[in-house]
Structures are given as C-alpha cells and as structure tokens.
Amino acid sequence: ADRGTALAARSHAFRALASSDDADDASSECPVCDPPEATGVQPRAMDANDIDYKMMALSVAVGLAVRFAFPVPETLTPRAWTLFAIFASTVTGLVAKPAPVGAWAFMALTFTVATETLTFQEGLAALTNEVIWLIVVATFFARAFIKTGFGDRLGLLFVKAFGHTTLRLAYGLQTAEAVLSPAMPSTTARAAGVFVPVINSLDVRTRAYLMGQQLQGGNVTSALLLSAAAQNFLCMQIAQAQGIVFENLFLEWFIASSVPCVVSMLVTPLIIYVVDPPGLKETPEAPVAATKALREMGPLRDQESKMVVGLGVTVALWIFGSQIGVSAALAAMIGLSILICLGVLTWNDALEQKGAWDTLLWFSILISMSGQLNTLGVVGHFSSIVSGALAAANFGWPQAFAALHFGYFIMHYFFASQSAHVGALYPAFLSMLIASGTPPMLAAFSLAFNTNLFGGLTHYASGQSAVFFGSGAISLPTLWKQGAYMSVVNFAIFGTVGMAWWRVLGLW
C-alpha cells in the first residue's frame, strides 16, 4: 500500500512537468490541468532510501527456509533449488517491500551472482528483451501525450459530446479511454494525465462515481488491445518463451478480447451507477464547461499535430509491422525517434522518466530469473505436481481452468503492481494451465486478460488505482467494494460470454 501515494503523486508530477518544461506546452493553458488538492488521507510513500529491516529479514528468511528446510527434489539440481529459494525471497520482497523494488531486485541479482547460482550474463539476460524496452519507450509516449496537452483535448471533446447526464458522461469517458489506449499505452499515465484532471474539473457530486467507474472500466479497456497496457506485452513475451506461437499477435489479441471486453465496457458504468449512484445525475453544465475549455485551448497546436504524426506511424506499425518484419519494440523506437526529431520530446524528457529506467532494471532481473527457473526445470517440476494433484482430484481442464484463474486473481491482494504479479506468477500459472489440459493459446490470452481485470481490486492494486484513489474523490471503502463486486461481474462475463466467444474462434 505504501506504493500508492508515490504513484498517485505522479499524476501531479506529470502535470507539473507538463507546465514547466517548454514554453509552448499546451497543458499549462488547459483549465482542467490542475486538479484540486486531495482531501483523502494518503498512505505514506516509500522514500527512495527507505529500508524496512523487519520486512527484509522476513523476505530473506523465506528464501533460507525454502533452501534449507526442504530437501532438494530428486528431479532438480541444488543450483536450481537455490535459484528457486532466491526467487521466493525476491517475490516475498515484492509484496513485503523491504526496499524500493529496483533496489531489492538489484540486491537479489548481486546475491545470485555472488553465490554463482547464475552468471552475470544469465542474471541480466533479459536486459535486451524487446518487450521490456517497449515498456520503457511507451512511458516516453505517455509523457508526450501529457506534455503537448493533446490528451486533455481528447478528454474534453468526449465530455462535450456525451456530458449531458452523468451516465452518458461515464460512457463518453470510457470511449475516450478506448480511443486513447493504443496511442498512450500506459493505464497509469492515461489516468494521471487525462482522466483525473478532467473529472476533477466537473461537479463535485459526480466525481466519486466517475472516478470509480473509470477505474473499473479502464481495467477492461486495458485488456481490449495488446498495446493498451505494458503488462500485456510482458504476458505475451512469457507465453512466446514457453513455445506458444502467434501468427499476428496484435490482431489475434484484439479478436479474442473484443466481445467480452465490449460487453464489460457496456455494463460497468451502468452497474456502478445502480450500486453506487452519483450525487448528481443530470450534468447539462459539463458540455458547456468543456466547450469553454476547448475554446480557450484554441485550435490544434503545432506540437500536438507533430505528436499525432509520430503516434500515427507507431500505431500503424504496431498493427501491420509484423507483415514487414517490424517488431512492436522497433515500431515504438521509430515513433520515439520521430517525436524527438520533430521536437515534441527532448532526450531530457526521457531521462526524467525515472520510473521507466527503474522498471528496465528490476523487470529485467525478474524476467531473467523466471527464464532460468524454466530452463533449470523448476517451473516444470511444480507444474507436474499441480497437474498431478488436479488429476487426482478428478478435475478436467475446465475445472482446473476456473480454479487456477481464481487463485491467480485472488493473489493480487498481496501485490502492489500488475507487472510484478506477471513476473512472479504468470509463468508458473501459464505452465499449470497448459499442464492441466487447457489449450495453450486460450491459457495465454485468458490469463493475460485476467491480469488487467484485477487492476482496480484495491487502492494499491495498480498505478492507475493509486492515481484515482489519490484524487481524494473516492473513498477507500467504496473503492474496495467496487473492486470486489466488479470482479464478480467480470468473472461472470469472461466466464460465459468470453468462453462462448473463444469457442466460436476455435481456441478450445
């Protein structure tokens, strides 16, 4: 939960950067760019130098217990079991947070190399992973979206078009989320840079409802497109590393996600409207305020036009690049180069995104460890144990499919990052699903969709969740309640509509 305020505060940091870096930044002139001070009580943010020695001792103790309290399985080598113990300690640290994630991962890598469990090259093998670099570059794109003010413009356009009632406004904001997602592939950045400022500019009686439905609906939107969230690329990278082959990953992802995601996007604002209704249901002033704000922003600025060009090229390459041999990471690199050459971003803008560079390090370490666990047979060992237990319980793959998905989902209560959850659990659960008899492509896609759906489970479940909670508009009990009942709704939709659609597609 400590991570909550740091990510929530990032929304204000984005706005501050956007108004100070360049004289022509449009966001400094946007009347909805400075949200009011949050009134909620915020959890303490972990400082970059904070060390919790009790949690560190706990995390280390878990690793020592795994290594020395349990015998090395006959099918594994001592080296493999030692790596598993270190990995267990590392994952415990992701939950317990004895230190900032990057520092903890660095210390884990240091110990792994010092004990000769892995070589330096093996410990950082994933540093050249294209997907991890895609996440880094995607953060720079989000910075461009905020810096130019184009995200504010799009948000206001949807408020102007749909804002006559609070429910229509909610659907307009969800539509804007879906439109923005392929060009701004960071759910946290979309929340911090666009939707929280726009919603905070509206009547106070609508904010709690709009914040809540935007958080829960945004999690579904993140599952709609492969490029809508960084964790999607990570999931697919792991799936491909396990031998699952995709012909056109972007298209196959969208086709598989389209029907259940659209159904969920349609019902989410309505269900929250019924269960937690807004204090004001008619909002005739919202389109007027948006029209005024757009008039003050003026016509599309030169920087916004240049950004649209760069992002347009990138999105086109994301969709069609596989046909000409351009990977998703290369497409993002081309787009970023265009933005830099056009002056939309400077290299200092990129250097200031400390979170992106931090992610590059710690996720490289985690993915490297996960890959070596698979190579050394640890993942296969536990997968065979689970599949044997499921077979002994007389579970067919549909029952195992449901049980494993529920377990994967509920364990997110112990994580403060979707990416960390993916790195720690996605490889193992994917292996167990396949071992239970689930068709590989169905296992990979459904587990990746599940990864997005728990983004609003708690106020610390994801970056965007922390940002919405940090706005002060939605209370902690309400956010947790909505996370719980919308989880049930989404499980029902993806378990019925989704499974039927995937049957039509031949995924099972």
φ, ψ of residue 416 to 5 degrees: the values are: -115, 20
φ, ψ of residue 282 to 5 degrees: the values are: -110, 130
Is the separation of the CB atoms in 299 and 102 below 8 Å?
A: no
3-state helix, strand, coil split of the chain in percent (to 5) is: 75, 0, 25
Instruction: Name the nearest CA neighbour of 124 among 367, 330, 375.
Output: 367
In angstroms, the CA 258 to CA 248 distance is: 15
pLDDT digits (tens, 9 = 90+) for 426-472: 888 898 898 888 999 999 999 999 999 999 998 778 878 877 887 78
Is the separation of the CB atoms in 329 and 133 below 8 Å?
A: yes
Helices and strands (DSSP H and E) totals, the chain: 25, 0
pLDDT digits (tens, 9 = 90+) for 194-242: 787 778 767 788 889 999 999 999 999 999 998 888 789 889 988 988 8
| CA-atom Rg of the chain in angstroms | 22
- Which residues have CB under 8 Å from 311's CB, separation 6+? 141, 144, 145, 183, 335
Instruction: Name the nearest CA neighbour of 199 among 141, 150, 158, 148.
Output: 158
pLDDT digits (tens, 9 = 90+) for 291-343: 888 888 888 888 888 988 887 888 788 767 767 888 777 888 898 999 999 99
Would you give per-residue pLDDT tens digits along the chain (508 residues)?
343 444 344 334 333 333 333 333 333 333 333 333 333 334 344 454 578 899 999 999 999 999 999 999 988 999 999 999 998 898 788 778 898 888 998 999 999 999 999 999 999 988 887 767 876 787 787 778 778 887 677 767 877 887 788 898 899 889 888 887 876 667 776 776 678 777 876 778 888 999 999 999 999 999 999 888 878 988 998 898 888 989 888 899 999 999 999 999 999 999 999 999 999 888 777 788 888 888 888 888 888 889 888 878 887 887 677 678 887 778 888 989 999 999 999 999 889 888 778 878 887 887 788 778 878 888 778 777 776 777 777 788 898 899 899 988 988 876 767 877 887 788 888 988 988 889 999 999 999 999 999 999 987 788 788 778 877 888 888 998 999 999 999 999 999 999 999 999 999 9
Residue 255: both structure tokens together: 């086709």
Is the separation of the CB atoms in 448 and 405 below 8 Å?
A: no
- Cα–Cα distances in angstroms (integers) from residue 202 to residues 1, 108, 152, 236, 317, in the given order: 28, 46, 14, 38, 37
Cα torsion through 215, 451, 184, 286, rounded to 10 = -10
Residue 103: how many other CB atoms lie within 10 Å: 18
